[in-house]
């Protein structure tokens, strides 16, 4: 017997073992707790069962199995799940100017409205950037607004953090030199998902200190167009990032461009010049040539959105996509913010039905 059953108007072929594995009857699945109920032994037996009989009626699929088990499925659910027909928001890759113009700006007071919160999250999913205006420039107010999305992530930098105010972290971010655009926490096993920045205090006579923002997905797209082999190398060759400070020693290996093995879509850029460790990459020559090409693209002016962070305006970046840096500066410059984990951010987007 064939190992597939063709169902629905379009005769979509569905794998039979998978069908049985995903029986949604109350014996196999606990709908109250959203979890499978089946025992190991039942599972091992179910692998070998065949379809005895089946009918399709009223948008349902009824199956009688060779071991006597009976299943009823919603036909559309089966087809959508098997074909991975998900609700999603495709990223739109941007040059610098677009990064400035396209992201949604939501006023702080409107965040209590579900539709406005959805607009903000949609913007982060689409462009990698979301902006909140009319916020009070304090760490407390920033925390309050961030919590509309998810709880801030506790890391070695704290939960809500400030930069420019007696910190004791030994990292160039806390000095006043220029920072080449990068992604943060490339050394964590799961890099932080979102990065929230809010300027609290800036010396009016201070020079520089502009934020530099680049869409990393755009850089990867350009690299792929210009040299598919360089692109492939950066999706395959793993490099290590490392971060050390008293009490902490993080290390994580991975490629610069992470792609989903099934969909082939890019889902993370892991680029940080400062935290790249000395561990030799495999295929070193190929790696360096490809990495140099990535850097050479990063030198192009048209990719940059350059702006001064302002008190009252909170900028949120997808740290798995957007690279951020800054120009060197003089004078007092105090900003704060936090990280949000990608896990929590995506969970929120799902509860708002923006993605599935």
Ligand X SMILES: O=C(O)CCC(=O)C(=O)O
CB nearer ligand M3L, residue 46 or residue 176: 176
**Looking at 65, 108, 161, 200, which residue binds ligand M3L (CB under 6 A)?**
161
**Looking at 324, 338, 339, 345, which residue binds ligand X (CB under 6 A)?**
324
CB nearer ligand X, residue 211 or residue 290: 211
| Tokens describing residue 68 | 């006597």
Q: d(Cα 165, Cα 156) in Å, to the nearest integer?
A: 17
CB 106 within 8 A of CB 341: no
Using CB under 6 A as the binding criterion, the count of chain residues that bind ligand X stands at 7
**Looking at 179, 213, 257, 303, which residue binds ligand X (CB under 6 A)?**
179
Pairing type for strands 129-133 and 105-107 reads parallel
Residue 13 β-bridge partners: 6
Counting contacts by CB under 6 A, is residue 173 touching ligand X?
yes
Residue 324 interacting partner from ligand M3L, ligand X, none (CB closer than 5 to 8 Å by kind): ligand X
Q: d(Cα 183, Cα 271) in Å, to the nearest integer?
A: 5
CB 276 within 8 A of CB 241: yes
DSSP state of 183: -
Residue 161 interacting partner from ligand X, ligand M3L, none (CB closer than 5 to 8 Å by kind): ligand M3L
Counting contacts by CB under 6 A, is residue 163 touching ligand M3L?
yes
What's the distance, Cα to Cα, between the start and end of the chain in Å?
34
Instruction: Collect all residues with Cβ–Cβ distance below 8 Å to 166 and sequence separation of at least 6.
Output: none
CB 274 within 8 A of CB 170: no
CB nearer ligand M3L, residue 155 or residue 227: 155
Counting contacts by CB under 6 A, is residue 275 touching ligand M3L?
yes
Residue 230 interacting partner from ligand M3L, ligand X, none (CB closer than 5 to 8 Å by kind): none
Q: Give contact residues for ligand M3L (rule: CB under 6 A).
A: 157, 161, 163, 171, 173, 182, 184-185, 272, 274-275
Q: Give contact residues for ligand X (rule: CB under 6 A).
A: 163, 173, 179, 184, 211, 324, 326
């Amino acid at each position: 017997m064939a190992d597939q059953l063709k169902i629905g108007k379009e005769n979509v072929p569905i794998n039979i073992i998978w069908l049985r594995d995903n029986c949604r009857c109350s014996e196999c699945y606990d709908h109250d707790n959203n979890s499978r109920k089946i025992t190991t032994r039942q599972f091992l037996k179910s692998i070998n069962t065949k379809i005895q009989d089946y009918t399709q009626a009223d948008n349902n699929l009824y199956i009688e199995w060779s071991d006597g088990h009976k299943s009823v499925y919603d036909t559309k659910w089966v087809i959508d799940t098997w074909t991975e027909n998900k609700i999603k928001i495709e990223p739109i890759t941007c040059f610098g100017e677009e990064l400035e113009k396209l992201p949604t700006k939501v006023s702080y007071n409107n965040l209590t409205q579900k539709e406005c919160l959805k607009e903000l999250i949609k913007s982060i999913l689409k462009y990698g950037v979301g902006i909140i205006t009319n916020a009070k420039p304090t760490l407390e107010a920033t925390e309050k607004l961030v919590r509309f999305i998810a709880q801030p992530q506790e890391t070695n930098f704290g939960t809500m953090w400030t930069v420019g105010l007696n910190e004791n972290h030994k990292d160039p971010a806390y000095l006043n030199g220029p920072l080449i655009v990068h992604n943060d926490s490339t050394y964590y096993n799961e890099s932080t998902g979102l990065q929230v920045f809010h300027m609290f205090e800036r010396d009016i006579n201070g020079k520089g200190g502009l934020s530099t923002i680049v869409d990393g997905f755009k850089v990867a797209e350009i690299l792929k167009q210009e040299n598919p082999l360089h692109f492939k190398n950066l999706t395959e060759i793993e490099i290590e990032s490392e971060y050390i400070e008293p009490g902490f020693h993080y290390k994580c290996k991975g490629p610069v461009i992470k792609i989903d093995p099934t969909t082939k879509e890019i889902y993370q850029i892991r680029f940080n010049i400062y935290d790249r460790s000395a561990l030799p990459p495999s295929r070193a020559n190929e790696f360096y040539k490809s990495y140099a090409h990535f850097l050479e693209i990063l030198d192009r002016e048209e990719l940059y959105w350059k702006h001064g962070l302002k008190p009252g305006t909170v900028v949120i970046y997808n740290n798995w996509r957007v690279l951020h840096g800054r120009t060197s500066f003089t004078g007092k410059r105090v900003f704060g913010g936090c990280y949000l984990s990608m896990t929590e951010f995506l969970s929120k987007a799902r509860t708002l039905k923006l993605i599935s």
